[in-house]
Amino acid sequence: MINISFPDGAVRQYEPGVSSLDIAKSISEGLARKVLAAEVNGEVWDATRPITSDASLKLLTWDDKDGKSTFWHSSAHLMAEAVESLYPGVKFWVGPAVENGFYYDMDLGGNQIGEEDLKQLEEKMKELAKQNNAYSRKKISKPEAVSYFKEKGDEYKLDLLQNLEDGSITFYTQGSFTDLCRGPHIPATGFIKAIKLTNIAGAYWKGDEKNKMLTRLYGVTFPNQKELDEYLLMLEEAKKRDHRKLGKELGIYTMDDDVGQGLIMWMPNGTVIIEELEKLAKETEDDAGYKRVVTPHIAKESMYLTSGHLPYYADSMYPPMELEGEKYYLKSMNCPHHHKIFAAEPKSYRNLPYRIAEYGTVYRYEQSGELFGLMRVRCLHMNDAHIYCTKEQFGDEFRAVNEMYLKYFKLFGVDKYVMRLSLHSKEKLGIKYVNEPELWEETEKMVRDVLIESNIPFVEVQDEAAFYGPKIDVQIYSVIGREFTLATNQVDFSQGRSFKLEFTNKDNQPETPLIIHRAPLGTHERFIGFLLEHYAGKFPVWLSPVQVKILPISDKFMEYVVEVKNKLRKSGVRVEIDERSEKIGKKIREAELSRVPYMLVIGEKEMTENKLSVRRQGKGDMGALDVSEFINMITEEIRERKAAE
């Protein structure tokens, strides 16, 4: 018998050779129907693969990231089987799972696949899925594998084989389709219930434009039709709410080739949002005892050698500028500058926790192919802060930061979020992570304990920590269900020592502080991108670039109109007048389109009665209000940062 240990700590005994699927069945048939793959000793395996010795086991379903990606990778094989049956002679390159689905690159020979052929392919896939063919794994020697693909005349797989070592090669077969593949795969094609092929594109072999152009076929699959329907609906909604489209329409941001890719310029309307967000952060942090600082965007190489950004983070940094024999780097993080501010004046335990915040701008290199709207950029603005504290203070400080996140999420109507506790990887100590095994263990435990004590649901992921310590990544979901990785809350036991930061403790001894790195709203770039989608451009009043648009029915009422405008401005309301001599209907339509929350129509009647005809964007007429009534209403809405209803 072998011992299988489960995530909850339970250990059960099974016959050697038992598969994860067998184990699932031994628990419940319902569970077995959901098992897509399994994590065995930290490695993702086929659920059908025999386990021969003691092991830790985690069953993976659709709810697990690795379960999903196994499902999609198996779907790529299913798609390949369908293509091969309809287009004999096709040769395949690689077919991975991606963020939302999968693709396969293929050489169709003389054939071509167009949009109009996708339906037929989907039907073929459904037919093959219904056959519920098992995905079977087979170890194969390199010479055998080579001779198989030589016979098939498949130069692509032969190319892949060149880089594989004999003894590590596996084939997977389902139905009539066999592929060179490391796996893992789901148990059988029958798990795949809903199929949508989404796109056809060209892709150079190995990404090199000197090579042949292959056909890349994209698809997405689900374990039931309902999820596919929801996904397609979400896609359609996301298209309408596309932050790039709305960002342009609403004058939020722009980019320019002469400035450079991924370098956002915030237009006046976007800047209003940035400033409101920063004002919110400043108020929140002021209440929480933070102080503010301003630091330059560059520093000398020596600082980044001390911090460890060089070499650990070098790939994400801009190249240096050489001046007077020194190398200067654009900062990719604010922390080293903040450490210098901590160190500028001597500190005692009385000064801790020392919390300093900055509206910081950092520069990170992302490959130009990775850049995307506000989501992947090279210049990042963020409400950043660092907290220097004692070990005793750590729990309270870390908890307070987590709570600040939750407070923000509530304010922005983020109902769904996941906290990911990102841990180090032992194998990468000294390469990707500072080589301090005990401190890693200790601080990871501290963070985990805070999360458990605060009753915050979280998942743990290996090998995603910062190089200086464990962190919490927060993923939030927009109202239409799209996921955004947003904020981080990080522990740092390393930089305090590297920078020789010290405070005098109660025993009058020097001691190194722990450091918390936090940016609860993430970058303003990504957060505003999120908000554009989340609100579909209809910002709550406090965030709206223009809060009120006054629409005079004619020039005759301008004196009253200007009087109303001035009263609103004095109350701190952002107000504009549509002075054009257009018909009132057109003015209303355009104001509605520009998502101004309140429109005030002013004509003869309003002027005589000293009133306003108030319209709410998307809701229509609210009737006539006194000027002071309206001002009270809107200023309260702004002051309390009320959500759009």
Q: What is the dihedral of CA 442, 445, 451, 452, to 10 degrees?
A: -140
> Quick one: 326 or 396, whose CB is closer to a copy of itself?
326
> Quick one: 293 or 564, whose CB is closer to a copy of itself?
293
Q: Are 38 and 45 in contact, with CB atoms under 8 Å apart?
A: yes
> Quick one: 354 or 530, whose CB is closer to a copy of itself?
354
Question: How near is the Cβ of 569 to a copy of itself at its closest, in Å?
Answer: 8
Question: How near is the Cβ of 48 to a copy of itself at its closest, in Å?
Answer: 45
> Quick one: 322 or 626, whose CB is closer to a copy of itself?
322
Closest C-alpha to 530, from 400, 404, 417: 417
C-alpha 132/C-alpha 190 separation (Å) is 4
Q: Are 347 and 504 in contact, with CB atoms under 8 Å apart?
A: yes
Q: Are 397 and 516 in contact, with CB atoms under 8 Å apart?
A: yes
406 to 445: interface string for a copy of itself, x by CB under 8 A:
----------------------------------------
Among left, alpha and beta (phi > 0; psi -120 to 50; other), residue 417 is beta
Among positions 320, 349, 622, 624, the unique one binding a copy of itself when judged by CB under 8 A: 320
Question: How near is the Cβ of 290 to a copy of itself at its closest, in Å?
Answer: 9
C-alpha 124/C-alpha 86 separation (Å) is 8
Question: How near is the Cβ of 457 to a copy of itself at its closest, in Å?
Answer: 35
> Quick one: 415 or 636, whose CB is closer to a copy of itself?
636
Question: How near is the Cβ of 277 to a copy of itself at its closest, in Å?
Answer: 12
109 lies in the binding site for a copy of itself (CB under 8 A): no
> Quick one: 206 or 292, whose CB is closer to a copy of itself?
292
C-alpha 419/C-alpha 522 separation (Å) is 14
Q: Give the pair of three-digit tokens for residue 184.
A: 């893992």
Closest C-alpha to 600, from 583, 619, 625, 618: 625
- How many Å separate Cα 198 from the centre of its chain? 22
Judged by CB under 8 A, the chain residues 535 through 564 that form the site for a copy of itself are none
What is the b/e burial string over 106-115, where b = at least 16 CB atoms within 10 angstroms of the residue's CB? Answer: bbeeeeebee
> Quick one: 322 or 453, whose CB is closer to a copy of itself?
322
Q: Give the pair of three-digit tokens for residue 566.
A: 């001035």
Question: How near is the Cβ of 557 to a copy of itself at its closest, in Å?
Answer: 20
> Quick one: 191 or 359, whose CB is closer to a copy of itself?
359
Q: What is the dihedral of CA 411, 412, 417, 422, to 10 degrees?
A: -90
121 lies in the binding site for a copy of itself (CB under 8 A): no
256 lies in the binding site for a copy of itself (CB under 8 A): yes
251 lies in the binding site for a copy of itself (CB under 8 A): yes
203 to 242: interface string for a copy of itself, x by CB under 8 A:
----------------------------------------
> Quick one: 300 or 642, whose CB is closer to a copy of itself?
300
Helices 142-152, 155-162: crossing angle, 10 deg rounding: 160
> Quick one: 43 or 324, whose CB is closer to a copy of itself?
324
Question: How near is the Cβ of 93 to a copy of itself at its closest, in Å?
Answer: 26
287 to 306: interface string for a copy of itself, x by CB under 8 A:
----xxxxxxxxxx-xx--x
263 to 282: interface string for a copy of itself, x by CB under 8 A:
xxxxxx-xxx-xx-------
Question: How near is the Cβ of 261 to a copy of itself at its closest, in Å?
Answer: 9
Residues sharing a CB contact under 8 Å with residue 562, sequence separation 6 or more, in sequence order = 577
HSE-up of residue 559 (Cα within 13 Å, Cβ side): 5
> Quick one: 173 or 306, whose CB is closer to a copy of itself?
306
Question: How near is the Cβ of 122 to a copy of itself at its closest, in Å?
Answer: 39
370 to 399: interface string for a copy of itself, x by CB under 8 A:
---------x-x------------------
Length of the chain: 645
Question: How near is the Cβ of 494 to a copy of itself at its closest, in Å?
Answer: 17
C-alpha 72/C-alpha 220 separation (Å) is 7
Per CB under 8 A, the segment of 61-69, 218-226, 235-243, 325-333 that binds a copy of itself is 325-333
245 lies in the binding site for a copy of itself (CB under 8 A): no
C-alpha 79/C-alpha 128 separation (Å) is 9
C-alpha 462/C-alpha 424 separation (Å) is 6
> Quick one: 218 or 542, whose CB is closer to a copy of itself?
542
3-state secondary structure of 14: strand
Amino acid sitting at position 11: V
> Quick one: 101 or 270, whose CB is closer to a copy of itself?
270
Helix (H) or strand (E) holding 322: strand 321-323
324 lies in the binding site for a copy of itself (CB under 8 A): yes
Among positions 319, 481, 510, 620, the unique one binding a copy of itself when judged by CB under 8 A: 319
Question: How near is the Cβ of 379 to a copy of itself at its closest, in Å?
Answer: 4
> Quick one: 358 or 444, whose CB is closer to a copy of itself?
358
> Quick one: 171 or 318, whose CB is closer to a copy of itself?
318
What number of other Cβ atoms are within 10 A of residue 213's Cβ?
A: 13
C-alpha 360/C-alpha 382 separation (Å) is 5
Rg (CA), the chain: 29
HSE-up of residue 501 (Cα within 13 Å, Cβ side): 31
326 to 365: interface string for a copy of itself, x by CB under 8 A:
x-x-x-----xx--xx-xxx----------x----x-x-x
Question: How near is the Cβ of 231 to a copy of itself at its closest, in Å?
Answer: 34
Q: Are 128 and 148 in contact, with CB atoms under 8 Å apart?
A: no
- CA-to-CA dists, residue 309 to 262, 302, 315, 425, 432, angstroms: 22, 10, 9, 18, 11
Q: Give the pair of three-digit tokens for residue 81.
A: 């089987």
Count the site residues for a copy of itself by CB under 8 A: 55
Question: How near is the Cβ of 566 to a copy of itself at its closest, in Å?
Answer: 11
C-alpha 581/C-alpha 584 separation (Å) is 9
Q: Where are the alpha helices (DSSP H) in 454-571?
A: 495-498, 524-535, 558-570
Question: How near is the Cβ of 477 to a copy of itself at its closest, in Å?
Answer: 27
Closest C-alpha to 594, from 107, 306, 252, 138: 252
DSSP assignment of 432-494 equals TB-S-HHHHHHHHHHHHHHHHHTT--EEEETT-SBTTB-EEEEEEE-TT--EEEEEEEEEESS
Residues in touch with a copy of itself (CB under 8 A): 251, 254, 256-260, 263-268, 270-272, 274-275, 291-300, 302-303, 306, 318-324, 326, 328, 330, 336-337, 340-341, 343-345, 356, 361, 363, 365, 368, 379, 381
